Amino acid sequence: MSDTELKDYLGIPRTLIPWFPTINEELCIDCGVCVDACKHDAYAFSEDTGRVKVANPYHCEVYCESCRFQCTEGAINFPERKSFKLIFKELRQQYPPAA
């Protein structure tokens, strides 16, 4: 699935929603657990470096953090929920729910 084929999330274009993982490269051991755990193909091994990367950030399911809990090294981070909720609230004002 390409980013142009992404479905909206509650009527908001997915590419406007800043919910996706980041990898702390100092902690990551490139074990690939996150690659296997993510059902949405957000992760992949980089062909250039052989390291795990967030290849498809907007494929991540909004509010999902299951990969973070699978990572034994604590190398996966997500936005802080309180701050994210404020951003989401602003997006919701721009994209109100359909009647």
User: Where along the chain do its domains lie?
Assistant: 3-8+19-90
Q: CB under 8 Å to 20, separation ≥6 — which residues?
A: 42, 54, 57, 58, 60, 78
Q: 97 falls in which pLDDT band (50, 70, 90)?
A: confident
CATH code of domain 3-8+19-90: 3.30.70.20
Single pTM value for the model: 0.87
Residue 28: its pLDDT value, please? Answer: 98
**What confidence tens digit (pLDDT) does each residue in 20-74 have?**
999 999 999 999 999 999 999 999 999 999 999 999 999 999 999 999 999 999 9
Q: 1 falls in which pLDDT band (50, 70, 90)?
A: low
**What confidence tens digit (pLDDT) does each residue in 70-93 have?**
999 999 999 999 999 999 999 999
- Going from the C-alpha of 72 to that of each of 35, 67, 75, 97, 99, the distances in angstroms are 13, 10, 8, 38, 44
Q: Is it the case that residue 3 has pLDDT exceeding 80?
A: no
Residue 21 CA to residue 78 CA, distance in Å, equals 5
